[in-house]
Amino acid sequence: MNSDYNIKVLDKETTLQILLRDHSSLIRFGDGELDLIRGESIPYQDYQPELAGALKELLLEGSNRRLLVGLSDVFEKIDRYNGYCQNFYQNSFFKNNKELLREVELQYNVYVSTFFSRPYIDLVDKSHAQEYFAKLRELWQDRDLLIVEGKYSRSGEGNDLFVNAKSIKRIICPPNNAYSRKKVIETEIIKNADNRLILLMLGPTAKVIVADLVAQLTNQMIDIGHIDSEYEWMKMGATSKVKIPHKHTAEFNFDDKQVKLEKDSDFDNQIISTIE
């Protein structure tokens, strides 16, 4: 089944190829960002008119050589995804965002795939996930990383997702309403950017930060989102979204109070800045 929107989204494999080849930066739009654009708050970010306006502007501008813009890859061949995912997009995403998607359609932009970093849990055929993750991890192979994430994200903690990186520094940000600290976060990123690949796991705020900094820094910056949950699920062979007790889990949006952070000196030693 195809949607009735004339919106072109490149598949996740092509998106990854572009990132590896061109070292472009990338921001990803999902249902949460579209909720904010429509004027609704989401679990970890209150509606802010300034944020919503910036997100809508970026969405309608689409991709360019320096900054790729991702949309959910659901406008054709949606039967690749499981029943729960199909139901959400057909009965919620498309209906709630009808007017906004018509605006997107009028721009005649080509988008990359938001799902380039969600390559496992929602797919019916999970047999290629390990091969895809191996390719994805080439992005940081022998590179110095700067990870910018929320307090409970702890991406790569307790697994080998980033072990092939040359080094890792982390900026820890507020788990909720990070947009209110955007300027401080940007200052810390600029101060510590060096020649690092910058990975952001910071919800809607990541989009505007990358867009702000793409003209100031030569670094490749990737809004990579819930990559850690996907990797954890793949490693355990999960067939549904299982909660991970010691870190934030994708789609478990109210789990902050239940997360029991584990002591991990290697992780702690990577933290260069904590923003409250």
pLDDT at 51 over 70: yes
Q: Assess contact for 169 and 199: CB atoms under 8 A.
A: no
Type of residue at 275 = I
Q: How far is CA 172 from the centre of its chain?
A: 16
- Percent of residues, the chain, with pLDDT higher than 90: 92
**Stronger pLDDT, 157 or 4, i.e. the higher one:** 157
Statement: the pTM of the whole predicted model exceeds 0.75 = yes
101-131 residue pLDDT tens: 999 999 989 899 999 999 999 999 999 999 9
Q: Work out the pLDDT band at 258, boundaries 50, 70, 90.
A: confident
Strand pairing partners for 161?
none
How far, CA to CA in Å, does 172 sit from each of 8, 146, 272? 35, 11, 8
Q: Assess contact for 116 and 72: CB atoms under 8 A.
A: no
- CA proximity to 112, closest of 23, 19, 251: 19
Query: Secondary structure of the chain: what % helix, strand, coil (to 5)?
Result: 45, 15, 40
Q: What are the residue ranges spanned by the domains of the chain?
A: 8-274
Q: How far apart, in whole angstroms, are the C-alpha atoms of residue 39 and residue 34? A: 9
Residues 6+ apart with CB under 8 A from 20: 135, 138, 139
Q: What local confidence, expressed as pLDDT, does residue 85 receive?
A: 96
Are β-strands 8-9 and 110-113 bridged in parallel, bridged antiparallel, or unpaired? Answer: parallel
Residues 6+ apart with CB under 8 A from 263: none
Q: Assess contact for 154 and 270: CB atoms under 8 A.
A: no
